[in-house]
Structure 1
Amino acid sequence: MKKIVLLYRNAFGGLSRPAWMMSLVMLINRSGAMVTPFLSVYLTEVLDYSLKEAGIVLSMYGLGSVCGSFLGGWLTDKVGHFKVQFLSLTVGGSLYFVLLSLRQFEALMAGVFILSLVNDTLRPANSSSIASYARPENVTRAFSLNRMAINLGFSIGPALGGLLAAISYRWLFIADGLTCILAGLFFFFYFRNLQGQPPQQTVNAIEPKANARSPYSDGYFVLFAILCCCFATIFFQLLSTLPLYYRQVYTLSENKIGLLLGLNGLIVFLLEMILVYLIGDRVRKSWLIAGGVLVLGLSFVLLNLTQHLAILVVAMLLLSVAEILAMPFMATITVERSGLANRGSYMGLYTISYAAAHVVAPYLGTTLAATYGFATLWWCTGALSVVTAVGLYFVVQHIEKERVRKRNLPTPGAETMAVAQ
């Protein structure tokens, strides 16, 4: 028992106080994450839209996420991560109350798009702030801490959401909106004196503009982002088609669906920090990320091999392990590839890759499920995971080799200084 306690203490040790507070903000925010996991069920069962129509609305959420991620990355570099996060949390929370009253299909599409756009300006700003508050030697663990908080919130949100949905779906929107606003207020009062100077006043004095290249001109990183989008397209079946699969194939109640989805967050919360601490510096990122993608594909293929309630739990366990192996190291690759002057833009492109998957995943998933059945959908996700894993292995390996090569190059002027000394 002492060894286990020591292991946890070492895994969490050395992280800065602002990194902990940022994770607390995300915990408050994600504890109210109830609308998104149940949105497909809400659209099909409460508002009586077809499976394909629900997929279109969910794709509008993804389209808003793409625009929000791009806007958030741009704004972060312009005005700083503090203002972007505060406005995203408070304004986004207010929009849930507006979405609650929408019933017409076109109005729902517009409402979901605007809600997602505002909410997802948070992502690049949040990632940039984590990188700035974390100590250089534990950036990956700082991201893992933040993800741990998000996943703990996600284990609470869907489980509580399932209980509220059994009473009325109205409470999902109210709870989600209130927790966003509360997270925004907590964030404002704690970080208002820690926001620092706008990027132009600090970064340009430290890092030459020549080094601040655009991520869109970085060919290997663009390819990395595309492959991350493929990974996320598979992963986001968790939020779009998987709840429908539970409902239509296994006829599970909202409570049980919420518990299964919450299991993902609970597993990641319990294991991610420990696994990152144990293997993060011992195994190459290319192996970890590629392995995570393959395990993700296996978690969906497993659903086709047998039909039993126990297989749903095993599949969710594998999906959670895949998330732990891939996602924190993908974020670290992005941080290491960027510099101070362009971190917001790099994080913006990285989050755009996930946001784009929010567009593709629900529409593609619901279309395949409606046309060919869920079994075909799960086989397709398995095949895509193999292709994505191979691609990520080689791209990440190249990026890592390039980083090591640049790190070993002599600093300009270093030889002159050495001679002078």
Structure 2
Amino acid sequence: MKALVRLYINSYKGLSPAAWLLALVMLINRTGSMVIPFLGIYMSSELGFSKTQIGLVLGCFGLGSVAGSWLGGWLTDRFGNFKVQSWSLVLVIPLFLILPLFRSFEGLAGMIFILTLVADTFRPANSVSVARYAKPENITRAYSLNRMAVNLGFSIGPALGGFLATFSYNWIFYGNAIAASIAVVVFIYFFRNKKGNSQYTHQETKKSSEQQTIPERNAYRDGLFIGFNFFCFLFSMAFFQLITTLPLFYRDVHQLDSSQIGLLLGFSGFVIVLFEMVLIHLIENRMTVRQIMLMGTAIAAASYYMLNFDFGMIWLFLAMLVLSTGEMLTLPFTATISIQRAGKNNQGAYMGFNSLAFAAANIFSPYLGTYIAEHFGYNVLWTTTGTVLLVVSIAFYWIISKMNFVHKAHELG
């Protein structure tokens, strides 16, 4: 027991106070993420939209996320991560407050696009700030801490949203506005005059002086990085079946009710919050980045193959545990690879491009997943999803070696 406690303490040791504060801001902000899980229900029961209209509005959410990811990266390189994060949090407050006033299909679709565009400019800026304030040797664990805050917030937010919806769906939007208000106050208070990590700054200065004759890459013309992001897009296309077709599979095939489905999905967040930091701490000194990405993506593939077999509820929980393990091994390192690939003055563009790869999957993943399930069955969907992830695992291993990430994960700094 003492060894386990010591392992947990060591997994968090060395993280800077700023990394913890950024995670706190993310936790507060994502706790307010209660609109999206209930948006489809709101449009159906409250506004009477058809399934086609609901799908198009959710498509606008995906488009706004793509545009926001690109814009956030562009703005971060020009105005800095602090200003972009602050203005993103400030501007979404009135947007959430007025959103209930837009009840027509056209009006709501346009507002969801604008809201998501503004909200997702926050993501690349936040990723850059994590790198700025983290110690170089702890950068992957700093990203893991941020992801832990996101998952904890997503676990709390829907539960809180469900409670508020019993009074009125409008309160879901107001709850998001309140959370964003608290997050921006905390963020500005702690970070308005805060400098980046001196060790990181010194390293960037040294790197710049050593490579001053070499122009920085353009994120959108960097062939290897374009390939890496394409594989991230394919990964997320497959992985995001978790939040689109998997709940339908639980309902249609296993006849689970809403509470059981919520328990299974919540189990994923619980596993990540409890184990991700420890897992990263255990492997980052033992494996290279490409080995970790290969293993993590292959494990995620195995979890979808498992869904082709029916051994009861315990098997579903085991498959979710395997999928969560693959997620924990893969997603923190996509951010680390992106920030390390960037130069000193274009980190926003690189993080924005990487965020865009994941955001773009939100547009296509729901349609393709439901189409395959409806026309060919869930077994074909899970076999296809697992195979895509297996191919991507090999592709990650290949392209990361080309990008020269062949050292141990903890040596990335």
> TM-score normalized by structure 1?
0.86
1:386 aligns with 2:390: yes
1:239 aligns with 2:243: yes
Rounded to whole Å, the distance in 2 between the matches of 1:167 and 1:260 is: 26
Rounded to whole Å, the distance in 1 between the matches of 2:359 and 2:151 is: 18
Deviation string for 1:14-60 (max 9, x for gaps)?
A: 11111110010001111222222333444455545454543332222
Change in 2 beyond 3 A, CA 1:80/1:55: same
Runs of 4+ in 1 over 6 A off after TM superposition: 203-207
Deviation string for 1:203-241 (max 9, x for gaps)?
A: 989974843221122111110001001111122223333
1:173 aligns with 2:177: no
Which deviates more from structure 2 when the two are superposed, residues 97-106 or residues 137-146?
97-106
Contact 1:155-1:263 within 8 A present in 2 as well: no
Letter in 1 for 2:394: V
Deviation string for 1:125-161 (max 9, x for gaps)?
A: 0000010101111111111111111112122223333
Rounded to whole Å, the distance in 2 between the matches of 1:111 and 1:74 is: 22
Contact 2:8-2:278 within 8 A present in 1 as well: yes
Rounded to whole Å, the distance in 1 between the matches of 2:237 and 2:382 is: 12
Alignment gaps of 5+ in structure 2: 202-206
Letter in 2 for 1:8: Y
Q: Secondary structure at the match of 2:362?
A: helix
Contact 1:166-1:254 within 8 A present in 2 as well: no
The offset of 1:249, in angstroms, is 4.7
Change in 2 beyond 3 A, CA 1:23/1:308: same
Deviation string for 1:89-145 (max 9, x for gaps)?
A: 222243233333433322232122111111110111000001010111111111111
Query: In the alignment, which residue of structure 2 is the partner of 1:312?
Result: 316
Letter in 2 for 1:394: W
Query: In the alignment, which residue of structure 2 is the partner of 1:11?
Result: 11
Contact 2:288-2:406 within 8 A present in 1 as well: no
Letter in 2 for 1:142: A
Letter in 2 for 1:63: L
Amino-acid identity (%): 46
> TM-score normalized by structure 2?
0.88
Contact 2:40-2:54 within 8 A present in 1 as well: yes
Letter in 1 for 2:382: W
Rounded to whole Å, the distance in 1 between the matches of 2:104 and 2:233 is: 30
Query: In the alignment, which residue of structure 2 is the partner of 1:418?
Result: none
Query: In the alignment, which residue of structure 2 is the partner of 1:289?
Result: 293
**Alignment RMSD (CA, Å):** 2.9
Query: In the alignment, which residue of structure 1 is the partner of 2:204?
Result: none
Rounded to whole Å, the distance in 1 between the matches of 2:135 and 2:356 is: 26
Alignment match of 1:223 (pick from 216, 227, 230): 227
Rounded to whole Å, the distance in 1 between the matches of 2:210 and 2:21 is: 27
Deviation string for 1:312-342 (max 9, x for gaps)?
A: 3223222211110101111111122112211
Q: Secondary structure at the match of 1:215?
A: coil
Change in 2 beyond 3 A, CA 1:144/1:89: same
Q: Secondary structure at the match of 1:400?
A: coil
Which deviates more from structure 2 when the two are superposed, residues 84-93 or residues 20-29?
84-93
Query: In the alignment, which residue of structure 2 is the partner of 1:275?
Result: 279
Rounded to whole Å, the distance in 1 between the matches of 2:254 and 2:326 is: 24
Rounded to whole Å, the distance in 1 between the matches of 2:101 and 2:376 is: 34
Q: Secondary structure at the match of 1:14?
A: coil
Rounded to whole Å, the distance in 2 between the matches of 1:163 and 1:307 is: 33
Alignment match of 1:366 (pick from 364, 370, 387): 370
Q: Secondary structure at the match of 2:307?
A: helix
The offset of 1:166, in angstroms, is 5.6
Query: In the alignment, which residue of structure 2 is the partner of 1:99?
Result: 99
Figure out how many residues of one structure are paired with residues of the other and give that number: 402
The offset of 1:304, in angstroms, is 3.0
Change in 2 beyond 3 A, CA 1:278/1:329: same
Letter in 1 for 2:386: G
The offset of 1:354, in angstroms, is 0.8
Letter in 2 for 1:156: I
**How do residues 125-164 of structure 1 correspond to structure 2 at under 5 angstroms?**
125-164=125-164
Alignment gaps of 5+ in structure 1: 198-202, 408-421
